[in-house]
Amino acid sequence: MSNVLKFPGAGGSNSKPATLDDAAKRSALTEYLEGGIVGIHLDATREGVKVPEKYKADFALIIKLSWRYAPGDLTLGGGGIAVTLSFQGSPSPCFIPWSAIFRIGGAVWPADMPKKSSKAAPAEESKS
């Protein structure tokens, strides 16, 4: 297991999220994952995000997660998500802090949306 990377704040499933927004994101992601595959939108330029170099400048990176994806190392910790993702067929250990995530499935956190892109998530529909 010497090739396993540990990320600060990844923690195990028992570690507590740092903020209420973090807790809400973790809860939403857990609920969506129970239904299968879920897309998350994140700002890869945020501090603490670990993704392949090619994607580090992406303000609206979309990744798909599932409990069923190999290698099966998806961990929802207090600080964020630790997982090995495949980018163009190449596995990469990644870490996504909760603060970098602005959309999970249909749930959006406007305060966490990237400031440099307004088209990352659709505008909320009018509730009349």
* 27 in any annotated domain: no
Task: Flag whether pLDDT at 1 surpasses 50.
Answer: no
Long-range contacts of the stretch 21-29 (C-beta < 8 A, 24+): 21/98, 21/99, 21/109, 21/111, 21/112, 22/78, 22/98, 22/99, 24/109, 25/98, 25/101, 25/104, 25/107, 25/109, 26/76, 26/98, 28/104, 28/105, 28/107, 29/65, 29/76, 29/81, 29/104
Predicted confidence (pLDDT) per residue in 48-79, tens digit = 999 999 999 999 999 999 999 988 999 999 99
pLDDT at 10: 42
Domain count, the chain: 1
Q: What is the CATH number of the domain that holds 82?
A: 2.30.30.220
Determine the pLDDT at residue 51.
97
Q: What is the pLDDT of residues 3-52, one digit of tens each?
A: 223 333 444 444 555 567 899 999 999 999 999 999 999 999 999 999 99
Task: Give the domain range for residue 69.
Answer: 37-106
Within a domain: 78: yes
